[in-house]
Structure 1
Amino acid sequence: MSDINHYNLAKDKINMVIAGLMVGLLVAAFDYSIMGTAMPQVINSLQGMEYYVWPFTVYMLTSTISIIFFGKLSDIYGRKHVLIAGIGIFVITSVMCGFATNMFQLILFRGLQGIGGGILLSLPFIVVGEIFPPRDRAKYMGIVGSVFGLADVLGPILGGVITDNFGWRWIFFINVPIGIAAITLILYSLPNFKLPDVKKIIDVNGMITLTLTLSSLFLALTLAGDLNTYSLTEIIGILIFSGVMFILFCRAEKKAAEPILPLNLFKNSIFSISALESFLASALMFSGIIYVPLFAQGVLGISATNAGLLMIPMLLSLTLASIVTGQIISITGRYKMLVIAEFLITGIGVVLLSSMNADTPYYLLVAYSTVLGIGSGMAYNIFNVAVQNAFTLREIGIVTASMRFFRNVGTIVFVPVFGYIMNYTLVSSAAVNFSKIQALVLSIQNIFLLAILLAFAGLIFAFFLKEIPLAGDTPSISMKFLEGN
């Protein structure tokens, strides 16, 4: 591995760092796909069908919040220490989840596990941004990020094998040896470089108000999917509370000595547009990941196993597109045209998916979802590279964590919105005596119609993204890092 790196690490150390980052990221990446397979057995064991989605949603919420918190803490205490702490939290809470005796315990432990998961989803990309010069970052981010595709393809299979042969608790216990391997690799390969002039001040007010903002927003959007149980007044009240907390968060960040999300970052148009594009790209990706399998099973009558197999081309194309896009950026040093191409391809994918009906053959479903996978994969690391290139090394940690944060917020916001569209359409269709299949087709079509609007918005914003050509060596604005133990 001949690339220049900021720390001038030896080739074997670089290989170990990349391997450690990939193994650590793999632990978190496997979580969603394995959990989805095991949840039916979890429910049978612990009861509480009414809380089916909460182990997923609580994890997503806490991981999103922790991305920003620990991205900032890693500026203070060093990437290595925080990354190892994240793996440790994830492993310990995995064991706690494995020993849960009821749904309440599982939901609580999953919330704690999300803290470690958020660290693992952001810190590896921060480390890559600091080790390599701008021109090489996209390439290695694509390599590190490829574990998501591996997890998405193998996760359901591995989850099924583990659950059927060893029981659902082992989907959590399996994280222990993988986590230990990741800690070992990182412990002996990654120096603990940290910023020398960051004040060791924790932005408590920012942490509290951001947590309340996102928690209440997520709760309101989730409850809105069941207006038969929860009144519109309650939901609006929660949304108002979220808005008030957001205003208080902005005020807290303006006054904070070391804000967890510095508002002056948004003065940089590259950061603002990249944050918005990451938000939209995540929503588009999940429209396919969630509703393509549902269409395959509910409309085409394909079994759950075969529906999972149908997703493999989409997930593989997502992974390959991420890697290839990184290579292209590394060669050309440019990214704007790739952002435009990404939203064009994604837009074509959701247009094709919105045209599906009960007569659509399965091979077209595979083809359409693969187009969406290509576009979604292209988006995965472009915005990390763009914002890292627009800021100094001192700010790489927070801007990289912010991109992952806004991706997760896109998921938190739009997954409940998609669910609301589906529920509303199903109820409306029942009122006009549509068959179940007709109602489901119309519901999924409406979801992809919204996705078309999101893709179009993303395409328009892409033209406003400024491009700073990526340098092939260490940036001219250099920062002195201090190495700790």
Structure 2
Amino acid sequence: MSNQTVLPAKTERTRIVISVSIALVLSALDQTSVSPAMPAIGAALGDRLWLSWIISAYLLTSTAVSPLFGKIADLRGRRLVLHSCIAIFTVGSAICALAPTMAVFIGGRAIQGIGDGGLVAVVQTIIADMAPPKERGRYYVYISTLWAVSGVAGPVIGGVLAEHVHWTMIFWINLPVGAACYAVSSRALTNVPDVRRNYNLDVLGAIMVIVATMMLLLALTWGGTAYPWISLTICGLVSASLLLFGTFVWYQLQREEPFLPISVLGNPVIAYAGSAVFFSMASFIGLSVYFPVYLQLIEEFGAAASGLALVGLISGMSLGANISCRYINKSTHYKRVALLGACITALALVLLALFTGKASFAVIETLVTVAGFGSGSLYPIALISVQNASERRHLGIATAMFIFLRSLGLVVGLACLSTIVRATGIASHIGSGPSTLGGDVRAQIVDGFRWVFYAAASSQVLSILFLMRMEEKPLRGHAPGSTRED
């Protein structure tokens, strides 16, 4: 295969990137619009004890399958994966809308998660195909803006549809959106050369990764809730997962065309960048999940107002991502802005812990916005660093592994912070309302949140350490006389 690939002109590339990015609307809106409708879903389908699995089933399958779709995109082409994932997602949406029971509904959410895992990976891989790393930041601006808008609009749309129309419309609306995404992306990619390689998929390796990941995620989801952390079930799941991951690594060394190539598995840039994002996302989940709870219990906010307060966090992340994307196009020392952003986030989290229960809402909201800004600046630079360090033939699996580590960080972070929330007594007061909190109880909850924010800050410090170890390789640009260099 040639090292240079001729691609469409710049204006055509921009159109292609925007067209395929629209497919992320399915993922971005669905992740934020379902939560406000959960009470209505529980009332309609019953089995309220399983409500948490509306989110968990989606996250479990989305995380587990992302490496699989990344590998298929490397072997069989980007278009096949993109269109297959759109179809899977819309089928899952239809099942959710038609579900007669909570069990069927959760199954539909798991199918949606499978589609989501491929959508996020392949769209970012297609963008990487469209431009060399040096120029890639300008295209990732579109994604950061899309996620910011969806993060704000999703809860509003979900709440309005559930309250004034019907909760099933949250899922029915995905069918025409999915059809539009398919039509627009299909037309945009018509004249774009697709990447294909004549190797068979390492099915056994793929199964090992998916099963090992599912066991680990189930342990993290059930630990401390359905089963004690030191129970036989949780310990058995973790042990079996680690054993299977170890077996997978040994098996990959024996394969001529492994599911996860050694050049990806052992690449230090990919390892350090992925680890940095893993711990950064573990930190971020503390704000996105528990900051609204903090506002309800300590600041006496209602559910709607506390959700709206997340606009600062989301806006900060979008601004940070936009600035880092623009900076990476102009500087050879691109890692500086990511390090600065990570340090800003760590400092904001420490101040948030110190001011918990003492500062005004304006101060707290400002700190959360600043923390979001720092987190947003890290992700695009880490992703572009991973793609810059990988070979073109492994671009899909490298991108998918990065997204896998990002999603895994969210799950691990949520499990760890949820343990702190339960241990400090916060969990027992969630949903009780601020009027029931006496002076001593309020002080206990304030101390609990202080530990939550300190833990998030500690995770961010680990992210900084891994980011410091990541090599800052020169970003590839256009080769003379071609449109693309690899």
User: Is the 2:356–2:449 contact (alpha carbons within 8 Å) kept by the matching residues of 1?
Assistant: no
1:16 Cα deviation (Å)?
Answer: 3.1
Secondary structure of 1:301's counterpart equals coil
Contact 1:136 1:472 in 2 (8 A): yes
Could you say what secondary structure the match of 2:329 adopts?
helix
How many matched pairs?
Answer: 474
For 2:479 and 2:363, the matched residues in 1 are separated by: 46
Measured in 1, the distance between the counterparts of 2:440 and 2:41 equals 32
Q: Which residue of 2 aligns with 1:451?
A: 456
Aligned positions of 1:325-344 closer than 5 A: 325-344=324-343
Distance 1:426 1:195 in 2: 53
Aligned to 2:220: 221
Q: 1:10 to 1:472 in 2, by over 3 A?
A: closer
Q: Paired residue for 1:100?
A: 99
Contact 2:313 2:373 in 1 (8 A): yes
Identity between Structure 1 and Structure 2 (%): 27
For residues 222 and 138 of structure 2, the distance between their equivalents in structure 1, rounded to whole angstroms, comes to: 41
Alpha-carbon offset, residue 478 of structure 1: 10
Change (3 A) 1:396 1:227: closer
**368-377 or 385-394, which deviates more:** 385-394
Q: Where does residue 268 of structure 1 map in the other structure?
A: 267
Q: Does 1:147 align with 2:146?
A: yes
- Counterpart CA distance in 2 for 1:166 and 1:259 is 49
In structure 1, the residue corresponding to 2:193 is in which secondary structure?
A: strand
**CA deviation after TM superposition for structure 1 residue 435, in Å:** 4.1
Amino acid at match of 2:105: L
- Please state how far the C-alpha of 1:343 moved relative to its aligned partner: 1.4
Letter in 2 for 1:452: A
Match of 2:39 in 1: 40
Residue equivalent to 1:208: 207
CA contact (8 A) 1:21 1:144 kept: no
Task: Tell me if the contact between 2:78 and 2:195 (Cα under 8 Å) persists in the aligned partners.
Answer: no
Query: Which shifted more, 352-361 or 143-152?
Result: 352-361
Q: Deviations over 1:177-228 (max 9, x none)?
A: 21112111111111453445x3331212212221221111112222222277
Ranges in structure 2 where 5+ consecutive residues have no aligned partner: 430-437
Please tell me whether the aligned partners of residues 133 and 475 of structure 1 are also in contact (alpha carbons under 8 angstroms).
no
Give the match's secondary structure for 2:455. Answer: helix
Output the CA distance in 1 between the equivalents of 2:49 and 2:229.
15
Q: Who is 1:160 aligned against? A: 159
Q: Is the contact made by 1:16 and 1:186 (CA closer than 8 Å) also made in structure 2?
A: no
Offset from partner CA, 1:433-472 (integer Å, 9 cap, x none): 9844333322222121111211112222222211112233
| Structure 1 residue 285 displacement after superposition | 1.6
Q: Tell me how far apart the structure 1 counterparts of residues 417 and 130 of structure 2 sit (CA, whole Å).
A: 39
Which residue in 2 is equivalent to 1:19?
A: 18
Provide the rounded CA distance (Å) in 1 between the counterparts of 2:412 and 2:479.
38
Does structure 1 retain, via aligned residues, the 8 Å contact 2:348–2:368? yes
Of 90-99 and 15-24, deviating more is 15-24
What is the distance in 2 between the residues matched to 1:75 and 1:96? 30
* Aligned partners of 1:278 and 1:407 also within 8 Å: yes
**Secondary structure of 2:22's match?**
helix
What per-residue deviation string (whole Å, max 9, x for no partner) do you get for residues 36-88 of structure 1? 11111101111112111112111111111221001110111110121011111
Residue pairs, 1:440-479, within 5 angstroms: 440-474=445-479
Q: Which stretch shifts more, 372-381 or 206-215?
A: 206-215
Task: Confirm or deny: 8 A CA contact 1:334 1:468 kept in the other structure.
Answer: no
1:6 Cα offset (Å)? 5.1
CA contact (8 A) 2:36 2:158 kept: yes
Q: Secondary structure at the match of 1:202?
A: coil
Equivalent position of 1:193 in the other structure: 193
Unaligned runs of 5+ in 1: none
Structure 1 range deviating more: 164-173 or 214-223: 214-223
Question: 2:224 and 2:175 mapped to 1: Cα distance?
Answer: 36
> 2:180 maps to which residue?
181
Partner AA of 1:444 in structure 2: F
What is the distance in 1 between the residues matched to 2:428 and 2:107?
A: 37
Change (3 A) 1:360 1:417: same
Structure 2 CA distance, aligned partners of 1:239 and 1:343? 30
CA drift at 1:408: 0.5
C-alpha distance in 1 between matches for 2:66 and 2:228: 33
Q: Residues 357 and 37 of structure 1: is their aligned pair in 2 closer, same or farther, counting only changes over 3 Å?
A: same
The one-character-per-residue Cα deviations of 1:349-371 (angstroms, maximum 9, x if unpaired) are 21122124334321112101101
**Cα gap change, 1:264 to 1:302, in 2 (>3 Å):** same
The residue type equivalent to 1:445 in the other structure is R
CA distance in 1, matches of 2:426, 2:7: 61
1:259/1:342 CA distance change after superposition, 3 Å: farther
Q: Describe the shift of the 1:207–1:478 C-alpha distance in structure 2 as closer, same or farther (beyond 3 A).
A: farther
Between the aligned partners of 1:230 and 1:130, the Cα distance in structure 2 is: 43
Aligned twin of 1:287? 286
- Give the whole-Å Cα distance in 2 for the aligned partners of 1:219 and 1:7: 45
* Paired residue secondary structure (1:243): helix
